[in-house]
Structure 1
Amino acid sequence: MELQAILHKVQWKDLKKLSTLEMLIENNISVPWLIASLFCAWKGWYLAALPFSAFYFLTALRQVHNGFHNSLGTNKFLTWLTLYLNSISMMASIHAVKFNHIRHHKYCLSEEDYEGKSASMSWYGAILYGPVHMFLIHKITLKHANKNYVRNVWLEMISIAVVTTVIIWLKIPFLIYHIIVMVIGELLMAFFAVWTVHHDTHEQPELARTQRGGIKNWLTFSMFYHLEHHLFPAVPTIKLPELAKRLDECIPELEKKTTF
């Protein structure tokens, strides 16, 4: 089925609007996990901190991803602030990630899609490619983005460097732990955020992989409804389960490749 036929058949525009509760959830979903992670690390319980750190990284990614598409329900400054603060806590310039993610939607899996390069690799190749992926994300933004993007990327990278230097200089163990875990998370982005949802979809790049099943989507905070996201990127993550239901009802014959 042609993409335009899908877009016209599914009712989705009402899903763009967030209630006050939904807006609060989308803008604060990562906070409890960050607090739990830092508390456990502060107490020296590093193994206990790891799952909380992983859930923080995942929910922070969900939060900034909604920010990329102006789907947090907040004004321009608060959305910018979300991206800036999460840059410092996630150890990467989120505006650099945003620039490449918007290009990813425009040039999905083509030569111009630098975010999507790992989709054509093997799973282990995507993991090994992780450091190159993160380097290119920043390099491409500084080379091709407009002045606002470049200014934000430099601000975020300098802020990260300053915060990291202070933490290491003061020798704060639980924050050093956080930095290490976040860097590892960033180095795995090419696998988790790209390969898992786009491998073997090059024939129809707009039809990304997706995930069905309540438990799996609950554990991944609805981040693997990627087919739905690519078809309707303006829909906030919290509304993707409803969008998936509508898609299944309207176009049951649509091929849905599973994420995992």
Structure 2
Amino acid sequence: MTHSEILQKVDWKDLRKLSTKEMLIENNLTIPWFFASCALAYYHYYVLALPFSAFFFLTSLRQVHNGFHNSLGTNKFLTWFSLFSNSILMIVSIHAVKFNHLRHHKYCLSEKDQEGKSAHMSWFGAIFYGPVHMFLIHQITLKEGNRNYKKNVLAELAAVIVFASAVFYFQIHFLIYHIVVMVIGEFLMAFFAVWTVHHDTEENPSMARTQRSEWKNRLTFGMFYHLEHHLFPAVPTIKLPELAKRIDEAIPDLQKKKTF
């Protein structure tokens, strides 16, 4: 079944709109995890802080991912601010990630898809490729992005440098911990955010992997409904469980590969 045929069979357009409650959730999901991880790290409970840091990284990824597709329910400036502020906290230029992610949707798993490169590798190859992946998405955006993308990438990188320099200069130990964990998270992106959802799907790139286990989707904040996201990228993450249900009802025989 083609992508266009699936679009015709599934009722999805109403899912693009967020209620006020849903908008507040999508735009503030990161806050408790960030403060909890920083509080625990402040008192040197680094091991206890790690899962909170991981959930902060995951929820930040969810937030900016919705921002890439204008699905946060906010205006243009607030969406930009979400990407910019998360750049500082995630220690990466989120606009560089956005540029490559939108190209990933357009050229999925083809030669022009830098984000999708690790999907063609082994799982351990994708892990080792992680640092190269993060360098290349910045390089490609600065080379091929338009003036606005380049301006945002440079501004975000400058803000990250200022933030990190201040943290290390003043030896703010709990923020040093945060920076180190975020860098490790960024280096694992090629594996967790690309390989897990796209490996062995080259024969039909738009049919990414997905997850149907309720507890696994709750644990991962719905970030592994990736088939649904590629078929309907305008649908916010908070609506993906409902979208998955509609797809299963409308096309019960649709072949789906699991993420994990």
Aligned to 1:27: 27
Query: In the TM superposition, what is the alpha-carbon distance from 1:2 to its structure 2 partner?
Result: 1.4
TM-score by length of 2: 1.00
Distance (Å, rounded) in 2 between the aligned partners of 1:74 and 1:43: 36
Q: Identical aligned pairs, as a percentage?
A: 71
- The corresponding residue for 1:215 is 215
SS in 2 for 1:171: coil
Q: Distance in 2 between matches of 1:3 and 1:217?
A: 24
Structure 1, unaligned runs of 5 or more: none
Q: Determine the C-alpha separation between the residues in 2 that align with 1:257 and 1:214.
A: 16
Partner of 1:189: 189
1:131 corresponds to = 131
Q: Match for 1:15: what amino acid?
A: L
| Aligned residue number for residue 105 of structure 1 | 105
2:87 corresponds in structure 1 to 87
**Amino acid of the structure 1 residue aligned with 2:36:** A
- Report the AA paired with residue 77 of structure 2: F
* TM-score for the superposition, normalised by structure 1: 1.00
Shift of 1:53: 0.1
1:63 aligns with 2:63: yes
Instruction: Give the number of equivalent residue pairs.
Output: 260
- 1:202 is aligned to 202
Return the alpha-carbon distance in structure 1 between the equivalents of residues 241 and 233 of structure 2: 14
Per-residue Cα deviation, 1:98-156 (whole angstroms, up to 9, x for no partner): 00000000000000000000000000000000001000000000000000000000000
Letter in 2 for 1:165: S
Question: Deviating runs (4+, > 6 A) in structure 1?
Answer: none
**Structure 2: distance between partners of 1:38 and 1:83:** 21
How many angstroms apart in 1 are the aligned matches of 2:4 and 2:159? 43
Aligned letter for 2:253? E
RMSD, aligned α-carbons: 0.3
Deviation at residue 3 of structure 1 after TM alignment: 1.4
Measure, in 2, the Cα distance between the counterparts of 1:157 and 1:94: 9
- Structure 2 segments unaligned to the other structure (5+ residues): none
- State the SS of the aligned residue for 1:129: helix
Q: Secondary structure at the match of 1:38?
A: helix
Aligned-partner residue type, residue 215 of structure 1: W
